[in-house]
Structure 1
Amino acid sequence: MARSTYHTGGCLCGHIRFEATGPALNPHTCSCQMCRKHTGALTAAWAEFSSDAIAWTGPGGQPATFRSSENSSRAFCGRCGSTIGAIDDAPTIALLLGTFDKPAKKDLMPTGHSFRSSRPKWWHVDIKADWA
């Protein structure tokens, strides 16, 4: 039985593409140093999915990875360099919302902001929920 595709997306050049099924888990923004360095932005916007809910569908297959911590690797396109997300050992894949073809879908809307204290004090994120 075929699974319904709820979300699609990919990198800038299209070499890495994905299909994510089911609702997004824990859509949030983050201002930790690792997310800032990975994206080049003051805040990264993420949605998580179980790794078995992700299919890599582009000609490049799975994205290239860089082991960024003891339990996670950052994913990117080896051709154009676009950041894609993070592949955790937990079996979770967190995809950056900017990589989705339709990031305005309701279940992708961030509900919290992690590491708010790591952001520059002049940078404001307007999300009510918060955690450290």
Structure 2
Amino acid sequence: MDVSVWTGGCLCGAIRFEARGTPGNPHTCACEDCRRHTGSPLTAWVDFPADQVQWVGPGGAPSRYRSSAQSTRAFCAQCGSTLGAIDDAPVVALLTGAFDASHAPALAPRDQSFVDGQPDWLAVALVVNTPAAR
């Protein structure tokens, strides 16, 4: 799927985004901050340069919570949906589940962070370098 503008947003539709370019660093993370931010044992992310992400929905930019020395979590204050993290890099890391085309191969995780943080009962197998993952 060749997409140059990626769209997505929160559950209620108040917060919408457009991200331009190719999603970078598609990965999962099981660190404590990610687990608590999403309520899930594992989070899937992709990165975009901050200047390539625009908040275009009627709710404007998402609410933010400073979660660490280098990152601020983004969420919808109306419905509570988590959208991603606005890093100091400057990178915006968006949750793959928030994309309208969330099943697009370009969003498929190719790496894992903080694997030791995921529960023993969770087995995640990443498919790397397969036609579906490209």
Task: Give the TM-score normalised by structure 1.
Answer: 0.91
Q: Say how many residue pairs are matched.
A: 126
Where does residue 58 of structure 1 map in the other structure? 57
Where does residue 19 of structure 1 map in the other structure? 18
Counting only pairs closer than 5 Å after superposition, residues 74-89 of structure 1 correspond to structure 2 as 74-89=73-88
1:105 offset after TM fit, Å? Answer: 1.4
1:95 offset after TM fit, Å? Answer: 0.4
Where does residue 131 of structure 2 map in the other structure? none
1:15 offset after TM fit, Å? Answer: 0.3
CA distance in 2, matches of 1:78, 1:121: 33
Does the 8 Å CA contact 2:4/2:22 hold for their aligned counterparts?
no
Q: Secondary structure at the match of 1:34?
A: helix
Q: Secondary structure at the match of 1:13?
A: coil
1:128 offset after TM fit, Å? Answer: 5.9
Residue 33 of structure 2 corresponds to residue 34 of structure 1: yes
Where does residue 117 of structure 2 map in the other structure? 118
Does the 8 Å CA contact 2:15/2:62 hold for their aligned counterparts?
yes
1:71 offset after TM fit, Å? Answer: 1.0
CA distance in 2, matches of 1:46, 1:107: 11
Amino acid at match of 2:82: T
Amino acid at match of 1:22: G
Unaligned runs of 5+ in 2: 129-134
Q: Which runs of 4+ in 1 moved over 6 A?
A: none
Query: Aligned-pair RMSD on alpha carbons?
Result: 1.3
Unaligned runs of 5+ in 1: none
Fraction of identical pairs, as percent: 52
CA distance in 1, matches of 2:111, 2:22: 16
Counting only pairs closer than 5 Å after superposition, residues 78-117 of structure 1 correspond to structure 2 as 78-117=77-116
Task: Give the TM-score normalised by structure 2.
Answer: 0.90
Amino acid at match of 1:77: C
Does the 8 Å CA contact 1:112/1:128 hold for their aligned counterparts?
no
